[in-house]
Chains A and B, each alone.
Chain A
Amino acid sequence: MRNAFADEITRLGERDHRIVLLSGDIGNKLFDAFKERFPKRFYNCGVAEQNMMGVAAGMALSGLRPVVYTIAPFTTTRCYEQIRVDLCYHGAPVVVVGTGSGLSYAELGPTHHSLEDLAIMRVLPDMTVLAPCDELELRAGLAAALTIPGPSYMRIGKKGEPKVHHALSSFELGKVIPLLEGSEICLIATGTIVPVAMDAARELNKRGLSTAVVSAPCIKPFDEAYLQDAFSRYRLVATIEEHSRIGGLGALVAQWRVKHENSAARLISFGADDVFMHEIGSQDYARSLHGLTMGNIAQRCAEMCSKMVASEESPCVASA
């Protein structure tokens, strides 16, 4: 994904001369093409993220369109006050990109994990929050973020993420993208965990449970019209994110659900547990510790469906 980011920002930089790229001393060689074409619009701001964010704000307030890039925790928690004050309070149109988000850097340990970025970004007024699932959503999301008048945050993976879309016919901020049709269960997934949701849906379909999947590349604003539709059409809605179950996609859907009690559909949220990991391994291993696997998602959804058939109990919110 980071290669797609570097390629897309170079392409966009050609069209829009206000675009400047700020990096926190990472991406060795990654931005060579951008640097070569636009040497005056690339700034390595060093390992100093608070300043980098303030500099980006100052540039945005002077008519430029800065894009800030570093590893997710360092572009969010490390300089959160600068994002809150310099970007959001000022309404400064800066695109903040967090690479290696979620558990992409599982093997680097919790200093490099970002399982709370969606929560802390979406709570900020005027912030747009994006989590593309693959290269195509990333390219479309970046282009869209550069058109809005305020700040945005985009969490992306690192490299080698599987392609989800073969083509994207349209991309709109605040809209989900349907991936698979179904009639009983709906899986709403965000970010690079979407392929796991697809696998879980295929498994559920095999078990005779017709399952739909949508990708939610935009967490804020969220597609509330889709939620309205999903909670009226499906028996079970499940959210899937490589992020804490506190404050992210699952939380926002649950909060929406509280206001819309007339639906009989049940809700399950799959996400990371409220813990720091002390056992280190691959991204897949780390996901499995949080139950973010095809097997667990399919099993929990199937169990919930059979329970509902057995008891026809009243709707409530469950957590995985």
Chain B
Amino acid sequence: MQAAELSRISRELRARTIVNAHRTGTPHLGSCLSCMDILTAAYFHALRIDPSDPRSAQRDRFILSKGHGAPALFQVLAMRGFYPKTLLADYGKDGSLFAEHPPAPNYLPGVEAATGSLGHGLPIALGMALAGRVNHAGYRVIALLSDGECNEGSVWEAAMLAAAQRVQNLCAVIDYNKWQATGRSEDVMALAPLADKWRAFGWSVREVDGHDLMGLAEHLSCVPDGSGKPVALVAHTVKGKGVSFMEDDNNWHYRIPNEQDTERAVRELGMSEVLA
């Protein structure tokens, strides 16, 4: 897929996520916008998936380990054709499948793991990657983590086992927007140097621009990368990316956009038709 097309998709996904946050009062908008380009590059370029056969044994697996990015994932899966966009009209209603975090697999096509409690996705992804080896299946597993999530010890437990097992069909993408819920990720838990940490844990590490869609598409496609190690992409991102008044403002971790915010954001994204 060409850069212009990917860019249009990610702008539309951003707009739809913002409108949904306004309509349903769903938080974590900053986190969703931060990882939208990674999701777009994965789902619209890198992943070998077939929405008409979502449980295919050979499919690539994508685990949204930062489960609070679910409002973004739900839009992505709908646009990618795992379920009709009209299903999203239920969002926020009683009896809906759409919580603020992904539901258990089998309840919504395309969802691989019910994340939301941080530090669970990478171990699950590692188990899936190891199962691929046992079953001689050629699939790859990508887990998307937040930088705040790297506070969790289980992330590093998984990192060590993946390195010991020389798991090559596993990729961890870290959405490194330098914020966590209540402060700078560097101040809360001394996260830097993040790429060096992953390197020291035995991973093949690349630091990438988390908003360069074509670059992301290429890196995500290049798993295994020939190093014999699991791959970590430390993706430098901006929380709230794509909307001038949300960018790098951590208030949008929890703030819900009002009507005026929503219209302005969608206009900035050039996606006014989404409001219609």
Contacts and interface: CB of A to CB of B under 8 A. Distances in A.
B89 to A, nearest CB: 26
Interface stretch (A85-93, A265-273, A307-315): A85-93
Given A46-B157, A50-B153, A64-B134, A89 B124 contact: no
A54 B123 CA distance: 5
B97 to A, nearest CB: 14
Contacts, number: 101
Given A41-B134, A43-B130, A91 B104 contact: yes
Interface residues of A, number: 30
Interface in A48-75: 48, 50-64, 66
B120 interface: yes
Interface in B124-172: 124-135, 153-154, 157-158, 160-161, 164-165
A58 B160 CA distance: 17
Contact of A46 (B105, B124, B135, B161): B161
A303 to B, nearest CB: 49
Interface string A86-114: 10011100000000000000000000000
B271 interface: no
Contacts of B114: 85, 89-90
- Could you say which of B106, B113, B125, B165 has the most chain A C-beta atoms within 10 Å of its C-beta? B113
B57 A57 contact: no
B12 interface: no
B123 A50 contact: yes
A54 B126 contact: yes
Contacts of A56: 127
A63 B61 CA distance: 14
A317 B153 CA distance: 45
B119 interface: yes
Contact of A86 (B120, B129, B130, B161): B120
A50 B126 CA distance: 13
Given A46-B161, A51-B161, A59 B117 contact: no
A50 B119 contact: yes
B124 A54 contact: yes
A64 B137 CA distance: 13
Contact of B131 (A45, A48, A59, A89): A59
Contact of A63 (B117, B131, B160): B131
Contact of A59 (B104, B105, B127, B164): B127
B37 interface: no
B175 interface: no
Contacts of A45: 161
B117 A58 contact: no
A51 B120 CA distance: 8
A275 B122 CA distance: 37
Nearest to A53: B123
A48 B201 CA distance: 15
A40 B154 contact: no
A91 B131 CA distance: 17
A74 B152 CA distance: 18
Nearest to B132: A62
Contacts of A85: 114, 117, 120
A254 interface: no
Contacts of A63: 57, 131, 135
Interface in B80-113: 104-106, 112-113
Interface in A283-315: none
B127 A57 contact: yes
Contacts of B117: 81, 85
B161 A48 contact: yes
24 contacts: A20-B131, A45-B161, A46-B160, A48-B154, A48-B157, A48-B160, A48-B161, A50-B123, A54-B126, A55-B126, A55-B158, A58-B124, A58-B125, A58-B131, A59-B131, A61-B105, A62-B127, A62-B128, A62-B132, A63-B57, A63-B135, A85-B120, A89-B104, A91-B104
Q: Name the 6 nearest CB pairs between A and B, nearest first.
A: A58-B127, A54-B123, A51-B157, A62-B131, A48-B157, A55-B127
Interface of B: 57, 104-106, 112-114, 117, 119-120, 122-135, 153-154, 157-158, 160-161, 164-165
Given A43-B130, A57-B123, 7 more contacts: A54-B126, A54-B127, A54-B158, A56-B127, A58-B131, A59-B130, A59-B131
Interface of A: 20, 40-41, 43, 45-46, 48, 50-64, 66, 81-82, 85-86, 89-91
